[in-house]
């Protein structure tokens, strides 16, 4: 009996060694002397962020459990009181994730995903490399104008339909990851293309305008001239790099596509219910495009989910059973942690410390401020949201040496390099919610896409932007 208990304990410690390590690191940091340059709440928030990153990377416990861990420690560490912590979880973006996942369930329930998948395949053909490239290109172009939230909510059911048609015959983890990451990374890549592609872009435009004495105003088209070459180049390379990271088990999807055609053919013409489902999605889509500033994308998404339920197109039991509630809670906890980092000065303290560390190099090398901006913005945007990253780092980076316009564009673009974790962006969060990919997959693909994005950005800064500035009057 004793030997069995001992073996059980040893096995538990082996399985939970990274959880124990995380708690040990957090405890040591908590009881160590705090730096005088940051508040106690800010430093404890930093400790919590370190612990959360360790738990996300090593995944010794389920990610929804990590989400529960965040508010508990926010209160126990006396970072904030229970009421403020609870309020920090209520956010329009959280409502969007919730509403869009529920809408996705309703769309799949009506079978619209199969019809949309067939339309896309008519353009891409049956080769996997063209299908994945098509998914990425469509996602990137759409997310340039209407935001990644909307696009990933629309494209995900289509990819899942293809995956399910294929996986009936064969286990396809690589092909699954390839299609899902093509959507998520396509949305992330396209989000910097225009000012309407994300809140980070509009925020940077306002920062550029507010520069004392010589504020810089960029028009919608001028932003496109600066940013869209990054989108086009990265679509090509990212599509290829994803196929390198996840070598697909199949090169052609002849059989699955034939089955898809048969399945759609048996349905016949679009039914009244399917037509109503399309109308509801179009109404919601128009709301996202036209009313997001006034109402918020989250409220609009919830209204769309309400319409699907109210019209009887989907039952609550179906939505409750097929919606990943844990991932919604995880996204809310990431937003809460980001808010605490911003409110208590943690993010500013980290950035100031980082910049002071490299001040000598910043003064010596003209290009080094852009290197600092790129790497540090990318690092922070994988911990908190891209909008929060730009909100915190934007004024700091604009005041560093370097051309303010180019520094601002560098910061805005590199804030979209959220490739390394599921919590880095809503698009990554939503594809992770399917349960079809693992956290390690983000690192497997992310370092390749991240490195490529950095190289392309540096080349754009050095070769293209100076040429462009000479021909644009700002």
pLDDT by residue (tens digit) across 180-227?
999 999 999 998 887 767 767 777 777 787 766 667 777 778 888 899
Contact 231, 193 (CB under 8 A): yes
- Give how far Cα 252 sits from Cα of 61, 202, 257, 281, Å: 37, 41, 9, 31
The upper half-sphere exposure of residue 307, i.e. CA atoms within 13 Å in the direction of its Cβ, equals: 20
State the pLDDT confidence band at 264, using cuts at 50, 70 and 90.
confident
Contact 166, 175 (CB under 8 A): yes
Neighbouring residues of 429: CB distance < 8 A, sequence distance ≥ 6: 97, 327, 330, 331, 334, 422, 423
- pLDDT: which is higher, 52 or 30: 30
- Give how far Cα 350 sits from Cα of 42, 354, 393, 450, 467, Å: 10, 6, 10, 21, 34
According to the 3-state scheme, what is the secondary structure of 174-242?
HHHHHHHHHHHHHHHHHCCCCHHHCHHHHHHHHHHHCCCCCCCCCCHHHHHHHHHHHHHHHHHHHHHHH
**53-73: average pLDDT:** 83
**Whole-number Å distance between alpha carbons of 460 and 323:** 41
pLDDT of residue 311: 93
* Mean pLDDT of all residues belonging to the chain: 82
**46-57: average pLDDT:** 83
**Is pTM, for the whole model, over 0.75?**
no
**Whole-number Å distance between alpha carbons of 415 and 177:** 23
**136-146: average pLDDT:** 83
Q: Furthest-apart CA pair in the chain: how many Å? A: 81
According to the 3-state scheme, what is the secondary structure of 316-361?
HHHHHHHCCHHHHHHHHHHHHHHHHHHHCCHHHHHHHHHHHHCHHH
Estimate to the nearest angstrom the gap between the alpha carbon of 133 and the chain centroid.
19
- pLDDT at residue 267 greater than cutoff 80: no
Name the strand (E) or helix (H) holding 66.
helix 63-76
**Whole-number Å distance between alpha carbons of 452 and 361:** 24
Q: Which two tokens stand for residue 391?
A: 């909100």
**What is the DSSP secondary-structure string of 353-398?**
HHHHHTHHHHHH-TTHHHHHHHHHHHHHHTTS-HHHHHHHHHHHHH
3-state secondary structure of 79: coil
- pLDDT at residue 1 greater than cutoff 60: no
């Amino acid at each position: 009996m004793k030997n069995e208990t001992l073996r059980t304990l040893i096995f538990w410690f082996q399985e939970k060694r990274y959880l124990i390590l995380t708690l040990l690191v957090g405890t040591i940091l908590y009881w160590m002397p705090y730096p005088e340059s940051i508040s106690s709440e800010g430093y404890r928030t930093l400790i919590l962020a370190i612990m959360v990153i360790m738990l996300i990377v090593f995944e010794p416990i389920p990610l929804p459990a990590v989400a529960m861990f965040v508010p508990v420690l926010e209160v126990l560490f006396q970072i904030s009181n229970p009421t403020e912590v609870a309020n920090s979880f209520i956010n329009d973006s959280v409502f969007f994730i919730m509403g869009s996942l529920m809408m996705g369930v309703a769309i799949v329930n009506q079978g619209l995903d199969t019809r949309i998948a067939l339309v896309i395949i008519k353009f891409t053909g049956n080769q996997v490399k063209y299908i994945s490239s098509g998914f990425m290109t469509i996602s990137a172009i759409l997310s340039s104008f209407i935001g990644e939230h909307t696009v990933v909510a629309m494209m995900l059911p289509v990819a899942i339909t293809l995956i399910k048609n294929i996986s009936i015959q064969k286990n396809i983890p690589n092909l699954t990851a390839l299609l899902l990451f093509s959507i998520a990374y396509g949305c992330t890549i396209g989000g910097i293309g225009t000012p309407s592609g994300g809140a980070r872009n509009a925020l940077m435009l306002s920062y550029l305008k507010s520069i004392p004495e010589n504020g810089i105003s960029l028009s919608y088209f001028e932003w496109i001239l600066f940013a869209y070459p990054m989108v086009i180049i990265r679509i090509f390379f990212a599509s290829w790099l994803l196929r390198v990271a996840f070598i697909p088990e199949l090169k052609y999807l002849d059989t699955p596509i034939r089955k898809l055609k048969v399945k759609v053919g048996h349905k016949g013409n679009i039914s009244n219910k399917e037509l109503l489902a399309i109308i509801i999605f179009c109404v919601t889509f128009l709301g996202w495009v036209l009313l997001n500033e006034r109402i918020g994308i989250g409220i609009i998404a919830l209204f769309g989910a309400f319409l699907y339920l109210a019209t009887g197109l989907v039952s609550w039991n179906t939505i409750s059973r097929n919606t990943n509630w844990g991932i919604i809670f995880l996204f809310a906890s990431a937003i809460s942690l980001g808010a605490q980092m911003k409110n208590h000065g943690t993010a500013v303290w980290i950035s100031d410390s980082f910049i002071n560390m490299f001040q000598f190099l910043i003064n010596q090398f003209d290009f080094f401020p852009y290197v600092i901006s790129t790497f540090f913005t990318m690092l922070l945007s994988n911990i908190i949201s891209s909008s929060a990253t730009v909100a915190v780092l934007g004024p700091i980076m604009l005041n560093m040496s370097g051309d303010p316009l180019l520094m601002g564009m560098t910061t805005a673009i590199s804030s979209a390099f959220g490739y390394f974790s599921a919590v880095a962006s809503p698009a990554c969060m939503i594809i992770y919610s399917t349960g079809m990919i693992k956290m390690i997959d983000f690192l497997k693909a992310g370092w390749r896409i991240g490195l490529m994005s950095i190289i392309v950005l540096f080349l754009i800064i050095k070769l293209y932007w100076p040429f462009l500035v000479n021909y644009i009057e700002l």
